[in-house]
Structure 1
Amino acid sequence: MIETGSEAPGAPSAGTSREAAIPVLLLHGATSLHDIWSPLLPLFSATQPVIAMPLPGHLEGEPVALDRPVTIERLADDIIAIMARQGVYCAHVVGNSLGGWLALELARKGFAASVTAFSPAGSWPDERAFLRIARAMVFACRVFPLLRPLMTPLMRLTAVRKLLFSSQMKYGERVSVAEAQRMLLGVCHCPVIPPLIASFGNGGGLKPMPPLDIPVHIVWSGEDRVLPREVFMPPMQQALPWAAYSILEDAGHVPMYDQPDAMVAIIERSIAMATAD
């Protein structure tokens, strides 16, 4: 868990502004880790509390019991419980990929003061599109632990980092050696992914949601190769036709290293809309 900002996160209290009291909660994608938000953290206002949390069932995240079905709703409930133990009962929720889907579910559950979702998962046009993504994720979780001893030293080569992350981001060479090795470690420690994927295949995609009284901004990366916007954004728009949509140009599916300044500007606009009198 990474926490920044001079204000302690938590619920609004007497004598504090809503903007100062409500933190930004950053949720990463499947097989990723909370470090992925590092390029954004120095760009937020020093007075804005920011929490980058590891998702349950991921590296450094709280364990998830696998003796019962793992669903997106259950993960959202787990996040709410984790935040409650830290005294946080509301947040401006920002998510990428799986984290974007979770951000929307947290809004459905009344936890979010605003939502900014970057290339959120949860919508697919047909079973074929779903299976392509699902098989790739399960394959990575099974194969990367076997290849890690070979791949870890290769991360020292800029060309290798750029190639390895080419499907995720446009400028993979911006990832440092240490960050790349951490990312690889993260892929190797995601026990929650196979059962979560199984729940998606049982009709567990994003369910339509009625209009909410909070800002919900869905931002698709212009060069997303994992969830190409021409395929995956239309069904999202059908499920949430009332949300705001925009395109983040010159960025891949995981855009934190591609466009950190633009991402923070978008997030701050959502916060400003939520806190406007």
Structure 2
Amino acid sequence: MLAYERTGSGEPLLLIHGIAHRRQAWAPVVERLAGEFEVITVDLPGHGESPAFELAGRTVREAVTHELNALREELGIERPHVVGNSLGGLLALEMADAGHARSVTALSPAGFWVNDLDYLYVRGLFAGIQAVARPLAPVAGTVLRSKVARTVAMGCFFAHPDRIDPATAAADTANMVASREGIKTFFTSAYRYPGATRRDVPTTVAWASRDLTLLPYQAIVAERRLPHATHRWLAGCGHVPMNDDPDLVAGVIRETAGAQQARQD
């Protein structure tokens, strides 16, 4: 079973992080949403405190879908609001297509690269980050106290890495190293998002204006494949926007979930 935490009360809200991250990535927005939702944060397979990612003869897509469905069943939640960042955004969109989401907020979602060069860029970026993370991890608690060091080490993910708590930055670095097999497994079967099969689920695709991981021009592809969705920009944010502007991100999530409630009314 995937590792998770439940906080707050209200309609269920499932938050899914991106590749190489962990459920604590959502901490800045959880505290802003827990008064309105039952917030569930989860570690993807092979990440954080979740077990190793075992495919058992399945594709990556089949295996991660099975794990998320098993989590919903364990929690007794049929259709949560779903929010995802990067890989988590792609998974959130697919949960909606399968009828397992009340609403979807996808933050800089994966699956919209323009061509193979885009994909090779991302693979190369993560390979470089992991190469730096391994020797850095043992001394990260000391080195990452420096704002300059955090900017150099984490600037590809955050627009304002200097704002990250040093202890959090060190823990994220350790997670990057510990998750290397899970990261490798996810990259073995990356795929483009084919386009929505359902149009009755309120969906917002929000692209970070300073994204250096999944480059912002991929928003054009997202608009073409999801014409029914609301498309917007997260000004001044990097690829992982929750730390850069948690108030803005929490507001986008509320708006999307509120659109679902308005349809019911």
Q: TM-score when scaled to structure 1? A: 0.88
- Between the two proteins, the alignment pairs up a number of residues equal to 259
Q: 1:53-132 residue pairs with structure 2 within 5 A?
A: 53-132=42-121
Q: Please report the RMSD computed on the Cα atoms of aligned residues, expressed in angstroms.
A: 1.7
Q: 1:14-33 residue pairs with structure 2 within 5 A?
A: 20=10, 22-33=11-22
**Unpaired runs of at least 5, structure 1:** 8-19
1:4 pairs with 4, 7, 12, which one? Answer: 7
Partner of 2:249: 263
Distance 2:73 2:58 in 1: 23
Q: 1:157-236 residue pairs with structure 2 within 5 A?
A: 157-190=146-179, 191-200=181-190, 204-230=191-217, 232-236=218-222
Q: Give, in angstroms, the shift of residue 129 of structure 1.
A: 0.9
**Unpaired runs of at least 5, structure 2:** none
Q: Give, in angstroms, the shift of residue 66 of structure 1.
A: 4.1
**C-alpha contact (below 8 Å) 2:122/2:213 kept by paired residues:** yes
Point out the structure with the larger helix share.
Answer: 2
- 106-115 vs 233-242, greater mean Cα deviation: 233-242
- 140-149 vs 38-47, greater mean Cα deviation: 140-149
What code does the residue aligned with 2:187 have? I
What code does the residue aligned with 1:237 have? E
Q: TM-score when scaled to structure 2? A: 0.91
1:242 pairs with 202, 206, 228, which one? Answer: 228
Distance 1:268 1:110 in 2: 20
Partner of 2:124: 135
Partner of 2:240: 254
Alignment CA distance shift 1:206-1:28 (3 Å): same
Q: 1:33-48 residue pairs with structure 2 within 5 A?
A: 33-48=22-37
**C-alpha contact (below 8 Å) 1:73/1:105 kept by paired residues:** no
Distance 2:197 2:72 in 1: 25
What code does the residue aligned with 2:14 have? L
